[in-house]
Structures are given as structure tokens and as C-alpha cells.
Amino acid sequence: MTRREVFKSTPLRLAAAFVALFAVTVVVLFAFLYATLIPELGGRLHARVDETLDALTAVDRSRGFEDLTNVVNSEGQSIRDADTVFLLVDTAGAYVAGNVRDVSFEPGWVKINRAELSFVTQERSDLDDEFVAKWRPVSRGMLFVGSSNREIRRIEQLLLRATMLGLVLATVLSILFGMVLASRARRRIYAVASTLDKVSRGQLDARIPIGKSGDDIDVIADRINKTVKQLGFLVANVNQASSDIAHDLKRPIGRLRQHLDVARRTADTADEFRDAIDGALDDLDSIVETFDALLRIAQIEAGARKARFQSIDLVSVVTDVIDIYQPVAEDAGHDLTCTDDYPLPAFVCGDRELLVQMFANLIENSIRYCPPPASIVAEVSMTTDTCSVTVRDSGLGIPEAERSNVLRRMYRLETSRTTSGNGLGLSLVSAISELHGAKLSLTDAHPGLNVTVAFPRDPQPAYRSVLPGPNAGKVWSS
């Protein structure tokens, strides 16, 4: 991967965004702490100065100016490296008591740097702090009291150092964590891209490894694997269909050529030529029928017919098909019946024409391949979520090992090679059931075969239906 590709990669950008988010979070946290803590400490400092002034002015009022002078001198001399400064001046502004001198009068709150103050005793002036101070009148002069904001400044520095340290640690941890995440995501994305490259080169058995986390990349990988699996299935079907077409059409095309060749070599009369042409036309009709069935299956698998879906009552569809095929079954020596005692219509969303064709194919197969006399039953059943149709016969059945094969295009069992047909009936049934989201299953009927198609039930049928059978005349609505 080139440097440009690295900087364009989504994982790296996500890692950078992760780092930026952590940095912004730390800065916002510092700003919040500073904005709430520092004003609170400043307010407490002002309150302490006011409390000291209140106590001293109370001494002046109760005991006089001389006692106030003694108290101020005592307080000023008792503090070393003072965090509190005192200055008492008379009405002329001359120094009377306190631990500082020569402070000019300013109304309200003032801030004075320690280095700007002239202390009475030797005092360190290298401390980088300020005094928040205030003047207040007393009986025979003015009183000045100030308190150092050293603790506030220390807390400010502590917050700043903690913020910088936290910002550095958060950035380093975010970068490391982001790099781990980015590297992991890059490996997984590369696995997806590598697998897709293999698929594009024809390796349809390639699959993306899926982890146990079940995250979004695993979900995408699983869907891609299912898509590639379906693609492989379709390609295999196309290849198999091509082989089956070549195999199954070889016989009618060979017969067609033989009829024409025999007619060319031996036919002498118009009737002989007519018989040869009729045989050739029969062969051509068989070929055309096969290709029509293949085209119908291709159209169904493309999903174009979904635009015609609507609410369909399976009971109505099945009974219509049974009514059509009962005479055919009787002529073949079979008994075709339908369970028609239904409490409610079985609504599904689908294409009525395709559903009729699917059930017709199933019943035709039973009529064609069951030795007479056979019992053929079509039954509709319902659950909370599904509507199922089962076509059951008492014929020879299909071996379990062959049940998946008979759904392939143009696949025919050896026992049915001698009968007419193109091997596309169950392929068409499979394509129609898949288009409708139905589950197709073939099971033993002991004896015979059960073919069940389970459809998702339509929860909101869009029209009214008249029920057949014992419920004839009853109108049901959604």
C-alpha cells in the first residue's frame, strides 16, 4: 500500500478522528473545570478579605482606634511570608500599623503584585503571586487588607499541567488504540478486497473469513459470501444447463435430421414426404417447447414478474387447477382430489399465472409418472406465518439422493427417460417458488412423493375472495 493510499484509507481517517475526539474532550473538560472552579475560588478569596475587614472594623467600633492599631500590628507581625497584608493609616494618610507601607488609595477591589509592595519587615518578593485587596474607612483613618491568590494560581497551574499531561496521554493512547483498530480494520477490508479479486478471476469458491464479533464488517462479509455462493450456484446451473441442453437436444435434433435424410433418400410420393415433414415438425415443436420453458425460467429468475404481485388466495388457485386436471387424471386411470374444507382463505402475495403454472406442473408430473391407478391429493394448510400447498401421490417417488438433482434444469431420472418431457417441470416449480420467497421441499409419502411449497402469509390481503367447496357462497374480506 502506497503512502497516498495509507492516508486515504478509512481506518486511518477513523483513527485520526478518534484522536481528535479525545483531544477535544480533554480540552473541553479543562475549560469546564477552569470555568467553574477558578471563579468559585476567587469568590471565596474576596469573602475572606471581607470577613477580615468586618472583624477589624468591628474592633474599631467597639474598642476604639488604639485597639484596632494594636490588633493590626499583632496580625501583621505574626505572619511570615505573609499571605495576608494589613495597612492602617490615619486621616492624613500616614502609616500607623501593618506589615506593608506606601499603598496608594484606590476605591473598590484592587490587585497588587507582591513585588510592588513595600513590606515593613524583610519579605520575599520573588514569589509570583498577587494580592486581592480592598480599602475600608475606620474611625480615624483607612484600613487596607489584602489576601494572596497564590493558591488559586497554584490550582490554575495544576489544572494546566494535568490538562497537558492528560492531553498527551490521551493522544498517545488514542493513537495507539486507533492504530490497532485501523490495522485490524485494514486487514479485514483487505481480506474482503482480496476475496473479491479472486472471485473476479473466476475463483467462485473463495470466501471471506468471518470473525466471532458479529460487527458490521462481519455482516457485510457474510452477505458477500452468500452472494458469491449464489453466484457460484447460478454459474454452475448455467454450465449444467448448457451441458444438459446439448445432451437432451441432441436426440430430437438427431431425429429431425434422420427424418429429413430418410425423406430425401427414400420418399417417392407426396404422402411419404408429408409423413417425413410431420415427423420433423414434431421434433421442432419439442425443441421450441424446451427453449420456451428455458426462457420462462430465465425470466422468472430475473425477478421481472414481481411487479405483477398481488394478494392471491391459494385455495382458489389450487381448486381451479384441480378442476382443469381432474378429467386428465381420470383418463390416465388416477384419482385426483383436493381438500377443500377451509375456515379462511389462504392469502399470499404473488403472480396468479405463475402459481397456476407451478401447481399444474406438479399435478402433471404426478399424472405422468405415477403408474395407474394412483391417488393424487392437493392440500392447502396454514399456520400463523405461512400458507402451504402439498401435492401428494402414491407413485414410485424420488430417491432421496436424487431430490436435489431433479430441481436442476433438464435433469431427468433414468426411469423417466422413456417418457415424453424435457426435464424442466420441477426446475420451473423451483424458480417460481424462489421468486415468491417460498420454501420447496420433497419428502417421502410412503409410498409416493410429497411436494410441499410453503409461502409467507400475506398479512394484509388487498381484496375479497369467495371460498370454494363447502364454504361456497361465503364471502371473506381482509
pLDDT for the residue 122 = 64
How much is the average pLDDT of 158-171?
Answer: 81
Q: Residues 379, 452: contact at Cβ < 8 Å?
A: no
Residue 451 — very low, low, confident or very high, per pLDDT cuts 50/70/90?
very high
Map out the domains of the chain as residue ranges: 11-153, 216-302, 305-476
Spelled out in words, what is the top-level CATH class assigned to the domain 11-153?
A: alpha beta
pLDDT for the residue 322 = 92
pLDDT for the residue 389 = 92
In terms of CATH, what superfamily is 305-476? Answer: Histidine kinase-like ATPase, C-terminal domain (3.30.565.10)
H/E segment holding residue 193: helix 150-200
User: Picking from 77-86, 98-107, 305-314, 429-438, which range would have the lowest pLDDT averaged per residue?
Assistant: 77-86
85-120: pLDDT as tens digits = 899 999 888 999 988 888 888 888 998 888 888 888
Cα separation of 358 and 296, whole Å?
12
Residue 241 — very low, low, confident or very high, per pLDDT cuts 50/70/90?
low
Q: Residues 422, 409: contact at Cβ < 8 Å?
A: no
Q: Residues 424, 410: contact at Cβ < 8 Å?
A: yes
Mean model confidence pLDDT for the chain: 79
**Sign of torsion over alpha carbons 284, 289, 290, 292:** positive
Confidence check: pLDDT of 476 > 70: no
State yes or no: cis peptide before 373, omega within 30 of 0.
yes
Among 328, 333, 326, 327, residue whose Cα is nearest residue 373: 333
Confidence check: pLDDT of 191 > 70: yes
Cα separation of 182 and 174, whole Å?
11
User: Picking from 125-129, 174-178, 316-320, 377-381, which range would have the lowest pLDDT averaged per residue?
Assistant: 125-129
Confidence check: pLDDT of 38 > 50: yes
pLDDT for the residue 420 = 52
**CATH 3.30.70, applies to 216-302:** no
